[in-house]
Amino acid sequence: MIEEFHYHIPWRTNNAHPGRHASNQSGSEQEFHSHAPLMSRPEARNIDVHASLLDPFGQFVVRTYRQRSSINVNLIADLSASMNFQNKMQLLGDFCESLAFSAYRSGDHFGFFGCNEQLQEEFHYPNRWYKGGLPQLSAKLRSYHPDGHNCYGIQNSLEFLPRQRSLVFLVSDFHFPMAELTDTLEKLIKHDVIPIVLRHPLEYQQLPEWGLFRYQDNETGQSRHLFMRPTLKQNIISQFEQKQQQLQHQLSQYGRRAFFIRDHFNPDQMTRYFYEQ
């Protein structure tokens, strides 16, 4: 059974399609907006007797409402080689499955963009309403072994996003230069971006105290040997945590704080993330 989570947006969409999100569109009697003269809005069933009696011009006054509308939900995923580390692709598949199903249940359109050096055609699903979500995409992600040297293709995927404001989940381990991240966030400034950071304890925590340790850069394939000792281990952990704090600060400057997924994805924690914002 696919578990869903509930996402919330603090802004009003301009989408005309009915849904469950606050919008700027006039529509059915869902959310009171304002009063208007009956002559300009000939909707007799919405006459407000009390407001009409108080009108200084003696006009009949009607209530106007805003409808609830749908939004576009997009997932941009890093498919570079570093995502091949441990269970990151499993985590990405789990998150994608839950998000696509949640969008389907909310009546929202969903789009997926998987990128390494380029936007990958086999992992490009345009924005539309996918009945039941996209379980086949999640299965494909879990069995995929990324080998790209970088994720610069994220820049290419941005041109396929909807023109109107949408909810964008940016999923990566974020092992790329801060300058590239800044450039990407600048280009996504009109959208509501949710950074999803995938981490694994073996990346920096579960290191040996002593001994010869082989380190490999998954992006470039280059490796080196280090003689691990407590001081070096502590330096590696400190530098990693410092970079993580810099990442948090960088992301928070462009809106939402990062959501970290480490051992497994918990939909309830994702729901809590939205309602704690």
Report the 3 state secondary structure along the chain.
CCCCCCCCCCCCECCCCEEEEEEEEEEEEEEEEEEEECCCCCCHHHECHHHHHHCCCCCCEEEEEEEEECCEEEEEEECEHHHHCCCHHHHHHHHHHHHHHHHHHHCCEEEEEEECCCEEEEEEEEEECCCCCCHHHHHHHHHCCCCECCCCHHHHHHHHCCCCCCEEEEEECCCCCHHHHHHHHHHCCCCEEEEEEECCHHHCCCCCCCEEEEEECCCCCCEEEEEECHHHHHHHHHHHHHHHHHHHHHHHCCCCCCEEECCCCCHHHHHHHHHCC
The answer, yes or no, to whether residue 252 has pLDDT greater than 90, is no
Dist. CA 244–CA 228, nearest whole Å: 22
Largest separation between any pair of C-alpha atoms in the chain: 89
The pLDDT, as a whole number, for residue 101 is 96
Dist. CA 248–CA 174, nearest whole Å: 11
Hey, where are the domains in the chain? 18-69, 72-275
Residues 6+ apart with CB under 8 A from 188: 158, 168, 170, 254
- pLDDT range class, residue 51, cuts 50, 70, 90: confident
- pLDDT range class, residue 238, cuts 50, 70, 90: confident
Amino acid at 93: G
The pLDDT, as a whole number, for residue 127 is 93
Question: Residues, the chain, total?
Answer: 277
Dist. CA 40–CA 48, nearest whole Å: 14
Angle (nearest 5°) at CA 50 between 49 and 52: 65
Q: Tens digit of pLDDT for each residue in 101-137?
A: 999 999 999 999 999 989 999 999 999 999 988 999 9
Multiple choice CATH, 72-275, 3.40.50, 1.10.287, 1.10.3470, 3.90.70: 3.40.50
- pLDDT range class, residue 176, cuts 50, 70, 90: confident
Q: Tens digit of pLDDT for each residue in 67-94?
A: 889 999 999 999 988 888 888 999 999 9
Taken in order 218, 219, 225, 226, is the CA torsion positive or negative?
Answer: negative
Query: Residue for token digits 């969409």?
Result: 13
The pLDDT, as a whole number, for residue 207 is 66
Dist. CA 52–CA 61, nearest whole Å: 5
Taken in order 72, 247, 202, 115, is the CA torsion positive or negative?
Answer: positive
Dist. CA 64–CA 243, nearest whole Å: 51
